[in-house]
Amino acid sequence: MNLEQAMEVRQQKILAALENKDTSVYFKDALDNEMVLNMGPQHPATHGVLRLLIKLDGETVAACVPELGYLHRGYEKLAENCSYHEFIPHTDRLDYLSPLMNNTAYVLAVEKLVGIEAPKRAQYIRTIISEMARVSSHLLGIGALAMDVGALTVFTWTFREREKMYDIFELLTGARFTTSFTRVGGLAHDMTPDVITAVKEFFDQFPEKFNECITMLNTNRIFVERLDGVGVISKEKAIAMGMSGPNLRAVGVDCDIRKTQPYLIYNELDFSIPVFNDGDCLSRYYVRLNEVKESVKIIRQCLEKMPAGSVHANEPKKVLPRKEQVYTRMEELIHDFMLINFGVNPPVGEVYHAVEASKGELGFYIQSRGEGHPWRLKIRSPSFMNLQSTSMLVEGGMISDIVAVLGSLDPVMGEADK
């Protein structure tokens, strides 16, 4: 048998085998079968360890179930077992993109419980660092959103600006991310003149660089069309679902705690609240973009108006004394001993204090029994409540829009998982 004949025999055998097979299985509609897709927890577009279980009908999302808890460290349990001061470093790890804002929010809640107020200069510095944290967080939010929908360059540009800002944070607090800068009744230390110069210099060059970034995005047709009309939520639903921050202002609710229930020195400053009405991903992006500009305005006003003076409240039994005084004076040594060993001991009661953090309403609910540590501390984290609407936003849309929706919601899992 030569090669040709052998090939012929083989072909016949294959044909016979195929004809004997049952080939009656066919799809009426290729999109008619549903598939379950697991997205995360290790997925770059989920901004951390968020896991989404998605039921797909073709390319359309039929259902979506978010799963949390992959970063749960039990901070509320830890808070019940450490003193009010000891919990400040833990707040760095909540929203790890704006640690200074969390420090401020936490000490404001404790100060409300204790019934003291930080001096004016400390409040100005707290406002400056909060707004800087907001700018840095929004820069990451905008950059990561652009990267998720395919515009890679802007991500590196916003990160360049963030890097300069983290140099300032390092100069100010000694750490880039784990800042722990605030104290009950004041700050760890004053803002030195070289930090003020660095902040001024940074914000002198920043608007131009930021305009470059947003011009790049706003004139990018692919970027705009991938966000426009995607992930829409109505005003009533957004309020009912407990959305807050830029996500709530993107549905046309003019609700910002800095204006509605002012804390720190926000009622002395001139700034506006950007509100957009469409409730889609593009509106959420526009709100963040305009908030950055307002934050720059706020920081400039604060630097101008900042008074001189101490950054520690004159409440020796509640505020940690300066180290050099602890070493040289009797009274301060006693207060330091009492505050470290027994804590602040606020009166029996409960408070809830919320601030407008970069992600939304960050609140601390504290129950005190007059002891040095909280009896119960609840963190109302904005990312947790914003993520609740994820399934509502992505259901009925395309699978590729999920990353756009997640990027525009801008969740941080350190905060959502606590």
Partner 1 sequence: MLTAVVEKLKTKFPNDVISSNEFRGETTVHAKKENIVAVCRFLCDDESSLFDYCTDICGADAYTPENRFEVIYNLYSTRLNHRIRVKVFIDESDLHCPSVISVWAGANWPERETFDMFGIIFDGHDDLRRMYMPEEFEYHPLRKDFPMMGIPDSIPLPRK
Is the distance from CB of 238 to CB of 247 less than 8 angstroms? yes
Report if residue 241 touches partner 1, rule: CB under 8 A: yes
Alpha carbon 26 to its chain's center = 48
Looking at residue 348, the DSSP 8-state letter turns out to be S
Report if residue 413 touches partner 1, rule: CB under 8 A: no
Report if residue 298 touches partner 1, rule: CB under 8 A: no
Tell me the closest approach of the beta carbon of residue 316 to partner 1, in angstroms. Answer: 22
Using DSSP bridges, classify how beta strands 60-67 and 182-183 pair: parallel, antiparallel or unpaired: unpaired
Tell me the closest approach of the beta carbon of residue 418 to partner 1, in angstroms. Answer: 8
Report if residue 309 touches partner 1, rule: CB under 8 A: no
Report if residue 263 touches partner 1, rule: CB under 8 A: no
Three-state secondary structure call for residue 378: strand
Enumerate residues 6+ apart whose C-beta is below 8 A from 215. Answer: none
- Select from 112, 120, 162, 164 the one that contacts partner 1 (CB under 8 A): 112
> How far is residue 362's CA from residue 384's CA, in Å, rounded to a whole number?
10
Tell me the closest approach of the beta carbon of residue 113 to partner 1, in angstroms. Answer: 7
* Nearer CB in complex with partner 1: 199/243: 243
Footprint of partner 1 on residues 68-97 (CB under 8 A)?
68-69, 72, 74, 76-78, 80-81
Q: How many residues bind to partner 1 according to rule CB under 8 A?
A: 40
Report if residue 260 touches partner 1, rule: CB under 8 A: yes
Report if residue 261 touches partner 1, rule: CB under 8 A: yes
**CA geometry: angle at 312 spanning 171 and 128, to 5°?**
45
Q: In terms of DSSP H, where are the helices of 250-280? A: 257-260
Report if residue 10 touches partner 1, rule: CB under 8 A: no
Tell me the closest approach of the beta carbon of residue 32 to partner 1, in angstroms. Answer: 27
Is the distance from CB of 376 to CB of 366 less than 8 angstroms? yes
What is the rounded end-to-end Cα distance, in angstroms, of the chain? 76
Report if residue 375 touches partner 1, rule: CB under 8 A: yes
Report if residue 396 touches partner 1, rule: CB under 8 A: no
* Nearer CB in complex with partner 1: 70/166: 70
Report if residue 255 touches partner 1, rule: CB under 8 A: yes
Mind giving me the DSSP string for 354-366? EEE-SSSEEEEEE
Tell me the closest approach of the beta carbon of residue 366 to partner 1, in angstroms. Answer: 11
- Provide the sign of the torsion angle of the four alpha carbons 340, 346, 348, 350, taken in this order: negative
The pair of three-digit structure tokens given for residue 298, joined into one six-digit string: 């706020």
- Alpha-carbon torsion, ordered 255, 257, 261, 266, to 10 deg: -120
The pair of three-digit structure tokens given for residue 113, joined into one six-digit string: 């419980």
- Select from 101, 132, 253, 306 the one that contacts partner 1 (CB under 8 A): 253
Type of residue found at 357 = A
Footprint of partner 1 on residues 331-350 (CB under 8 A)?
349-350
Report if residue 42 touches partner 1, rule: CB under 8 A: no
Beta bridge partners of 355: 362
Residue numbers at the binding site for partner 1 (CB under 8 A): 68-69, 72, 74, 76-78, 80-81, 112-113, 115, 237, 239-243, 253, 255, 260-261, 349-352, 354, 361, 363, 365, 367, 375-376, 378, 380, 384-385, 388, 417-418
